Chains A and B, each alone.
Chain A
Amino acid sequence: MTTTNSDSLLPAQGIEAPRSGRIDPKYLRNKSSNGSFEMAAWVFMRVSGLALVVLIFVHLWVNLMVGDGIHQIDFGFVAGKWANPVWQFWDLTMLWLAMLHGTNGMRTIINDYAEKDSSRLWLKSILYVSSTVIIILGTMVIFTFEPCLVNNETGELFDSVPAFCHDL
C-alpha cells in the first residue's frame, strides 16, 4: 500500500509521520541555478580587494603624509591632482573598484540576512540604483572637473584655484 502525504498526517496538529519524504517547501531550491556568476563575484572580491589595498594606501599616503600632509588639502590640492591624467586614472580605478566591491559586498549581506524575497528585491533595487548614480556622478566629476573657476561677476579667478591657473 502506498502512503500519500495526507495519509501520513498524524491526527493531531497535522504533524507528518517520520520519513514521509516531505520537505518543508521553504527549503526547496529552485532547479539548479548556474553559479558561474557567484564564482566570478567571489574571485572579483579577492582581486579587487588586493588592488584596493594598493590604491587606497597610496591615496592616503599622497594626500596625508607627503608634503604639507593633512594641511595641504583644499580645493586647489584636489584640482591640481585631477589636472594630472595619472591621478585621474588612479581615482577613477579606485572609484569603480571600491563601488563595485562595496556594492557586491552589500549584495552578499542582503542575500545572507534578508529573510523575505520581497525585502531582498527592495533592498537590492535601492542598492543598485544608488551605486549606479554614485559611479556615474563620480566618473563625470573626475573627467569634467574645471580646476580654474572664474567669478562670473568680476571675470577673475577665485582665490581657491590651484597656482597653475594664474599662468594660463
Chain B
Amino acid sequence: MSTPTQEVAEPASKIDLAEAGGSGGEIPSFDITLKVRRYDPERAEDAWWDEWTLTMYGTDRVLDALHKVKWEIDGSLTFRRSCAHGICGSDAMRINGRNRLACKALLKDLDTSKTITVEAIKGLPIEKDLIVDMEPFFQSYREIMPFLVNNSPEPTAERHQSPEDRERFDDTTKCILCAACTSSCPVFWTDGQYFGPAAIVNAHRFIFDSRDDAGDMRLEVLNDREGVWRCRTTFNCSDACPRGIEVTKAIQEVKTAILTRSL
C-alpha cells in the first residue's frame, strides 16, 4: 500500500489577489468626443454628423464607445459587429480617416484630446450610418474562385503539403474579409470597378497553394483591365489591414506571376 498522502486543497487562484476593494490598480478614465457620420434615408436625404462626449476607460475600444452611445444615448445608431474580437471582420470603419476595426482600435492609442471621427468605409454604397452594402465587394471575391480546385483523384487522406509550400501563402490565409483594404484604395473609390486588394489577396491564397490547380485561371481573371494592373502601389491597403497582411506585396507577387506566365 502506498503511503497515504495529505491532499491539500488548491487555492482558488494561484496568484495572490489583493483584498477586494479596488486596489487592483485603478483603470484610468478620460473624456472623449466621438463624432459619427450618420445616414438614414428614412430620416433625411443627406448624411449628417452627430457628436457625443463620453467618459471612457483606458481599456476601451472605439467599439465600446459606439456601444455606449447605442445602449445608453441613441439606440438608432447603427453599425455591424459580431465577434468584437477582431476575427469576424464585421466592423471595419473609417476612424480618424483611417480604416480600422472598431473592436481593435483602443481609444488610448488615438489622440483623445481631439474629436474622434468615425465614418462608414468609403467606396461602397452606405445603407445606414456605418453599414455599407458589401455585395460588390463579395462579388469580386467570388470572381477569383476562392476555393480549392484540384484535378487529381481524391486522396483517401488529407492532401500533403510541405511546411515550405504551406509557408508560401501563409500571410494571405489570414484574411477575414473585412473590406478595410479595398475600401481604403483610391482606385476603388473612383468607380468601384477595380477588383480591389481583398480579391487579389484571396486569389494569392490559392494561386501560390501547391495543392491547387486553378492558378492559371485566377491569373487570367486578374489580368483584367480592372485587375492587378490598376494597382498604383499606394500602400493604403497594407496600412489598413487589421490582420497585418502585407497586402501590397501580395498584389505585387500576383503581378509578377501574371508577367512571368505570359513570357
Q: Which residues of A are interface residues toward B (Cβ below 8 A)? A: 12-13, 15, 21-24, 26-27, 29, 32-39, 41-43, 108, 111-115
Q: Quick check: A24 and B125 within 8 Å, CB to CB?
A: yes
Decide yes or no whether B93 CB sits under 8 A from chain A: no
Q: 7 new A-B pairs (CB below 8 Å) besides A24-B133, A42-B255?
A: A23-B135, A34-B225, A38-B225, A38-B230, A39-B262, A114-B190, A115-B191
Contact A32 B190 (CB under 8 A): no
Chain A contacts for B255, CB-based, 8 A = 42
Q: Is the CB of B232 within 8 A of A112?
A: yes
With known contacts A15-B41, A39-B259, A39-B262, A29–B133 Cβ distance under 8 A: no
Count of inter-chain pairs, beta carbons less than 8 A: 67
Give the CA-CA distance A32 to B190 in the complex, in Å.
Answer: 19
**Restricting to B124-149, which residues have a CB under 8 Å from any CB of A?**
125, 127, 133, 135-136, 139
Chain B interface residue number, banded? 20 to 34
Query: Separation in Å of the B76 CB from the closest CB of chain A?
Result: 14
Instruction: Looking at the assembled complex, report how far the CB atom of B38 sits from the nearest CB atom of chain A, in whole angstroms.
Output: 15
A-B residue pairs in contact (CB < 8 Å), sample of 14: A15-B41, A15-B127, A26-B192, A27-B193, A33-B225, A35-B222, A35-B225, A35-B227, A35-B229, A36-B223, A38-B229, A39-B259, A108-B232, A111-B230
B227 to chain A, nearest CB (A): 5
| Chain A residues near B222 (CB-CB < 8 A) | 35
